[in-house]
Amino acid sequence: MSLGRYLLRRLALAAITLLGVIIAVFIMTRILPGDPVSVKAGQFATPAIRAEIKKELGLDKPLPVQLVDYIGNVFRGNLGQSTRSGQPVLSDLAQRLPATIELALASVILGAGIGIPLGIVAALRHNTKVDVAIQQVTILGAAIPIFWFGLVLIFLFYHVWHIAPPPVGRLNTNVNPPHTITGLYTVDSLLTGDWQALGNALAHLVLPAFALGFVVMSPFIKITRSAMLGVMGSDYVLAARSLGLSDREIVWQDALKNTLVSILTVGGIVLGYLLAGNVLIETIFSWPGIGFYAWNALTGSDYDAIQGFVLAVAIIYVGLNLAIDVAYSLIDPRIRLG
């Protein structure tokens, strides 16, 4: 099928899935054992006030109508209101998103930046001690609880060795954030030449990014190693060898390109790890992103915020997976040209 039609189909599927996601979240919100009316009304409200509140919350309407209302609200960007901040959930999330993006990007850069070369080395030296060691790292990364790892890092690097700054937030309290361009402190301070902020922001970023990056590293190593092994054993590498090309030339000219394309396929998995681990790591490091927000919402029974968070994450997940699919189909000429 042609590329255009393929992309349209993916888009349509994603849209339908998103609709399903919204419905799923709605179902989740309505299976509350608690009673949102009571929560809002308090203990001493009269039945009349309760009825008022019920109407205000839209809970007096039949369920299907509530669903349609909810969908409409979501499309208008109304994800409810946080009981803690008093702000619309959407703006709460939007305010905190840059911090999460910064952490996620740093983790991916670390995880891929270390994982991909390790995977290549493991493939080129496969079945040697180096390969075995790298595989052991992968095994460890897949078994380690990420929140515990973050705590251990804090203990070692902050408490014992005094290298890392206090694990609270993105900057020391006495350092001002740089002028906002992207919302990413590291990028912004770089762009504005605010070196003090840059140094401090990086210092705060290292530990959480490393904790998250270590877990994310495992799928990168695995896919790079197996893709590389597949490529090096392939027919076209054999043909290239038969032409007298050295292994080094083959790796740089052919193998890397083909391997890197395969790495895109784990993008979805990595994304899943990031979104999940994000909540845990942000909580531990008090990193003011959407994950920390979610944890606060959980402990504070801020139901609108919780639902809004889950919905937002799902939308991000679906959207980015779609983007990865599109990128892959654009890179691989077998799909692009049909």
Partner 1 sequence: MATIQPDDTALGGLPAALPLDDTLAVRPIGARWAGPLRRVPGAGLVGFVALGFIVILAIIGPWVAPYNPILPDTNAITAAPSTAHWLGTDQYGRDVLSRILSAARLDVTVAISITLLALVAGALLGGGAGYIGGFVDDVVMRFVDVLLSFPAFILALGMTAMLGNTTRNVVIAVAVAYTPYFVRLVRSEMLSLRESEYAAAAKTVGNSKARIMLYHLLPNAMPPALVQATLTLGWGILDVAGLSFLGVGIKPPTAEWGVLISDGAQYINSGQWWISVFPGIAILIAVLGFNLTGDWVRDNVLKR
Partner 2 sequence: MMDEATVATLPAPNQPKLEAPDVDANALVRVEDLTIAFPDERGERYLPIVQQVSFAVRRNEILGLVGESGSGKTQTSLAILGLTRPPGRVLGGRVLIEGRDLYAMKEEERRQIRGRKVAMIFQSPRTSLNPLTSVGDQLVRVYVRHRGLSKRAAREEALAMLRKVGIAGPERVIRAYPHQLSGGMAQRVMIGMMVGCGPELLIADEPTTGLDVTIQAQIFELIQSVQADTGMSVLLITHDLGVVAETCHRVAVMQSGRLVESAPVEELFAHPRHPYTIRLLAAMLRPDRPPVAASDRTAAPDELPIAANGLCYRAVSVDAWEAAKVGPPAMVAVAPDHLVLCHPADTDATEGGA
Contact present, 130 and 238 (Cβ < 8 Å):
no
Which residue in 97, 191, 245, 276 binds partner 1 (CB under 8 A)? Answer: 276
Q: What HEC string does 164-182 produce?
A: CCCCCCCCCCCCCCCCCCC
Least distance between partner 2 and beta carbon 335 (Å): 10
Residue 254 within binding range of partner 2, rule CB under 8 A: yes
Q: Smallest gap, in angstroms, from Cβ of residue 158 to partner 1?
A: 7
Q: Site for partner 1 (CB under 8 A): which residue of 16, 109, 239, 327?
A: 16
Minimum gap (Å) between residue 47 Cβ and partner 1: 26
144: contact with partner 1 by CB under 8 A: yes
Residue 337 binds partner 2, judged by CB under 8 A = yes
Task: Assess contact for 135 and 161: CB atoms under 8 A.
Answer: no
Min dist CB 31 to partner 1, Å, is 6
Q: Cα–Cα distance between 178 and 52 in angstroms, integer?
A: 46
Does residue number 24 form part of the binding site for partner 1 (CB under 8 A)?
yes
What's at 186, amino acid-wise?
Answer: T
- The tokens describing 185, both together, are 């402190």
Does 248 sit near partner 2 (CB under 8 A)?
Answer: no
Cβ nearer to partner 1, comparing 190 with 221 = 221
Stretch of residues binding partner 1 (CB under 8 A), selected from 40-48, 98-106, 190-198, 293-301: 293-301
| Interaction of residue 317 with partner 1, rule CB under 8 A | yes
| 320 and 4 Cβ atoms separated by less than 8 Å | no
Q: Which of 109, 163, 238, 327 binds partner 2 (CB under 8 A)?
A: 238
Beta bridge partners of 88: 81
**CB within 8 Å of 38: residues ≥ 6 apart:** 50
Phi, psi of 253 (to 5 degrees): -90, -35
Alpha-carbon distance 5 to 235, whole Å?
A: 32
Closest by CA to 232, choosing from 116, 114, 120, is: 120
Nearest partner of 79 among 251, 256, 314, judged by Cα: 314
298 binds partner 1 (CB under 8 A): yes
* Residue type present at position 171: L
According to CB under 8 A, which one of 15, 139, 181, 327 is a site residue for partner 1? 139
Instruction: Give the x/- contact pattern for partner 1 in 166-185, rule: CB under 8 A.
Output: -x------------------
How far is residue 226's CA from residue 120's CA, in Å, rounded to a whole number? 9
Residue 68 touching partner 1 (CB under 8 A)? no
Give the Å distances, CA to CA, from 60 to 33, 41, 56, 133, 193: 17, 15, 9, 62, 56
Does residue 52 belong to the site contacting partner 2 (CB under 8 A)? no
Beta-carbon-side half-sphere exposure of residue 105 (alpha carbons within 13 Å): 13
Smallest gap from residue 234 Cβ to partner 1 (A):
14
Q: Interface residues with partner 1 (CB under 8 A)?
A: 16-18, 20-21, 23-25, 28-29, 31-33, 125-128, 132, 135-136, 139-140, 142-149, 151-152, 154-155, 158-159, 167, 247, 271-273, 275-276, 279-280, 283-284, 294-295, 298-299, 303, 306-307, 310, 313-314, 317-318
Q: Interface residues with partner 2 (CB under 8 A)?
A: 128, 233-236, 238-246, 253-254, 257-258, 261, 331-334, 337
